[in-house]
Amino acid sequence: MGVIYGGRSGEHEVSVTSAASIFKSIDRTRYEPVPIRIEKDGRWTLADRPPTALSAAEVIQQARQSAARPVRAGRDSLFVPYPSGDTLITVERRGSSDGSTPADVDRAVVTGLGLDVVFPVLHGPYGEDGTVQGLMELANVPYVGPGVLASAAGMDKAVMKVLFAAAGLPIVASHAFVRADWTRDRAGVLSALAALGLPLFVKPANLGSSVGISKVKANAELVPAIETALEFDRKVIVEAGVANAREVECAVLGNDDPETSVPGEIVPSREFYDYEAKYLDEGSKSLIPAELPAATVAEVQRLSVAAFRAIDAAGLARVDFLLARDTGNLYVNEINTMPGFTSISMFAKMWEASGVSYPALVDRLIQLALARHGEKQRLRTSAL
């Protein structure tokens, strides 16, 4: 079983932490996990050893303190993009023993590795957004998590909301635009955003872990917030804020018949659950199960399944909600198709509170991946 982690995105460190938890807890009597690391520059390596189970904060601090040049501990690897007995090809470059010839031109030892299933525990672009899922489809390899369409839709918050609206789910008012719109007609964009009122949340459309997100409480803060979001993505979505909102989450597990966990609630250490509050501050708290009336719990679970189906998800997802304290109105905020997957992440903790341990959760996801792949193998690939 291949565990792919790291990735070319701002969520690289979070992915490393998620993978470390999988390696620490997976049932070695059933699975032989193989560490496949994608470096920040996009190069794939067969890692010499799996990542250690550090906290996200420790991994992030290590990354900030490390040199700008990435350190690679593993063999360069290529994922074979077609059905093959060798799913992963590794290349070990060796130079002359006397050092007279460069290592990359003397000779290379190439080996192949077959993988029965892949767990792409990647967060953010170039991993959670359908790109790696498309590679798995080309290779005809079973993989954990939603397919190409659901992964792409779950990553793009603007497209996600279109699908949620079409499914009749309650969402906040929002407006999305691309960099070209901002460059050509800044006044027009600002005029459209004025209709949303204040406060606002400005987000890169295709990113997670609250990277690049700003809360705007005054008009003077809006343009800098948009410029920050555009540093991370060509598309920005601006959402109307929900006054004094509670942040409620629910985990979903399954394929055609998804199940839901008990909901949890995030109490952030900051004004909202931004990157620092998630991974660096120690003051953020999670309440599992969330203290909610039974009717609200049932509605959260119903809407979670509806959101899961709206994007045609499979395997797993975490659905995030905003609950207005004054009115009790519940809004579907977003769906995460590969949520943080450490043993202390909300997804795992909500399932643990629902009676599913972390090792059992990993096993369940692998079995769901194999079942979905088995169904696909029954489809015809030729009209002849």
CATH classification of the domain holding 309: 3.30.470.20
Examine residue 152 and state whether it is found in any structural domain, yes or no: no
Q: Are residues 208 and 257 in the same domain?
A: no
Q: Are residues 259 and 218 in the same domain?
A: no
Q: How would residue 13 be classed by pLDDT, with cut points 50, 70 and 90?
A: confident
> With 80 as the cut, is the pLDDT of residue 280 above it?
no
Q: What is the pLDDT of residue 109?
A: 74
Q: What integer pLDDT is reported at residue 323 of this predicted model?
A: 97
pLDDT over threshold 90, residue 274:
no
Give the structural domain span for 166: 162-170+244-376
CA angle 338, 342, 347 (to 5 degrees): 55
pLDDT computed for residue 284 by the predictor = 75
Choose one of 218, 240, 262: the last residue of a domain.
240
Cα 153 from Cα 147, distance rounded (Å): 10
DSSP strands (E only) in 22-84: 34-38, 44-47, 74-79
- Asked if 209 and 259 sit in the same domain, the reply is no
Q: Pick from 304, 310, 243, 235: which is nearest to 272 by CA?
A: 243
> For the chain, what is the radius of gyration of the CA atoms?
22
Task: Work out the pLDDT band at 381, boundaries 50, 70, 90.
Answer: confident
Same domain, 116 and 191: no
Give the residue ranges of DSSP H helices in 167-256: 179-184, 186-194, 222-230
Residues 187-245 pLDDT 10s: 999 999 999 999 999 999 987 657 789 999 999 999 999 999 999 999 999 999 998 89
pLDDT computed for residue 66 by the predictor: 59
Helix or strand (DSSP H, E) at 260: strand 259-260
Task: Name the residue with higher pLDDT: 72 or 136.
Answer: 136
Query: What is the model's pLDDT at position 380?
Result: 86
Asked whether residue 182 is assigned to any structural domain, the reply reads yes
Residues 166 and 314 placed together within one structural domain of the fold: yes
For residue 272, the model assigns a pLDDT of: 55
Is 106 part of a structural domain of the chain?
Answer: yes
On the question of pLDDT at 94 being above 90, the answer is no
Are residues 166 and 300 part of one domain?
Answer: yes
In a domain, 153, yes or no: no
CA gap 131, 311 in Å, rounded:
16
Q: Is the same domain home to 249 and 331? A: yes
Which residues make Cβ contacts (< 8 Å) with residue 370, sequence separation at least 6?
Answer: 117, 142
Q: How confident is the model at residue 277 (pLDDT cuts 50, 70, 90)?
A: very low
Task: Indicate the number of domains in the chain.
Answer: 3
Q: Are residues 6 and 100 in the same domain?
A: yes
Sign of CA dihedral 366, 315, 297, 153: positive
Predicted local distance difference test score (pLDDT) of residue 384: 78
Q: What is the pTM of this model?
A: 0.88
CB burial class (10 A; 0-12, 13-18, 19+) of residue 137?
middle
Three-state DSSP at 164 gives helix
Question: Does some domain include residue 181?
Answer: yes
Is 31 among the domain residues? yes
pLDDT digits (tens, 9 = 90+) for 41-90: 999 999 989 988 666 666 666 655 554 555 556 799 999 999 998 999 99
Say whether both 131 and 166 belong to one domain: no
Task: Clarify whether residues 236 and 266 are in a common domain.
Answer: no
Q: Is 156 part of any domain?
A: no
The whole-number average pLDDT for the span 127-147 is: 96
Contacts of 282 (CB under 8 A, 6+ apart): 269
Share of the chain above pLDDT 70, in %: 86
- 332 in a structural domain: yes
DSSP string, 273-335: --HHHHHT-S--EEESS----HHHHHHHHHHHHHHHHHTT--EEEEEEEEEETTT--EEEEEE
pLDDT tens track for 334-355: 999 999 998 889 999 999 999 9
Same domain assignment for residues 166 and 188 = no
Is the domain of 235 the same as that of 313?
A: no
Find the CATH number of the domain harbouring 196: 3.30.1490.20
pLDDT at 102: 52
**Which residue, of 182, 209, 240, is where some domain finishes?**
240
